[in-house]
Chains A and B, each alone.
Chain A
């Protein structure tokens, strides 16, 4: 079964059809998804800026982590749930774009780096806090923010995949195959 066949099958399941046919469901899911983008991105930005020494210098990094990480994890879970439902509602449109595939790849890297960072913060708490972060930690903070920016942009690019990627877009490729 190809990815396209799977997507077509998924789109025809009663659950997918139910999401598609109630007109208020998709806009509600998308609104929640966007609200959580704001919560998650600002949380990541605040943690990164604290690591870089730009905000909340009256608090330690573990304190800043404790303040924002519940928003980060809750936001990620809600984004994942609404995202999965949105994909189920139109899997062909999602799977057949390069933007969606790249977004999932970067998402995996982004979540992994967040978990690794959480672990290093816990390590720092046990070690009794830290004064100055090594260069690689500060570079990682900037890279994480840029990574999530790319995830957000790719999410929006799904709707414009053929325009953004041209011949690299699977939808365009599939179209070219049939002619």
Chain B
């Protein structure tokens, strides 16, 4: 089974080639990706716990989200960029990976959840800014948490279900027996 042409184009692109060829690109891109994904979760957690009414109840919802969302968006941009670099290196492998497809689906669901909240429930925020959130807002907060946990778990599953990123160099000697 062949992947779509655009997937092959991405993998064959200069960026894909650079990612595969540069030894240091992988660890850096990988580390920044993990850091950014973790920060998306850590920062959205603060907003979601406020929406759920667990913490920061004395503080306005608008204030808490304004404080945290710049961090969430910056981290998300970093995660998307490094994720795209990662994808380019082995586009065809990722394309056929089930965990990768579910991860993308989960990110899409997180986006839909956010848009419904932003253009629906959030419009009436003035009425519940300082009190308990309405059920729709609590639902959005809970869903957001659950979805982002799934994204992180699925991301880890990809690492265990896809092929090797790079062929292991044959001259790399990991024989400890003589040491």
Contacts and interface: CB of A to CB of B under 8 A. Distances in A.
Nearest to A175: B173
Contacts of A31: 152-153, 156
Interface string B33-68: 011011111110110000000011001000100010
Interface stretch (A106-114, A116-124, A126-134, A156-164): A156-164
B166 to A, nearest CB: 10
Contacts of A30: 156
Interface of A: 4, 8, 23, 26-28, 30-31, 34-35, 37-43, 45-46, 55-56, 58-59, 67, 92, 96, 149, 152-153, 156-157, 159-160, 162-164, 171, 173-179
Interface of B: 23-24, 26-27, 30-31, 34-35, 37-43, 45-46, 55-56, 59, 63, 67, 71, 149, 152-153, 156-157, 159-160, 172-179
Contacts, number: 110
Contact of B31 (A39, A56, A96, A152): A152
Given A162-B172, A174-B179, A41 B42 contact: yes
Contacts of A153: 31, 35
Which of B41, B42, B63 has the largest number of chain A CB atoms within 10 A? B42
Given A35-B41, A175-B173, A157 B31 contact: yes
A42 B42 contact: yes
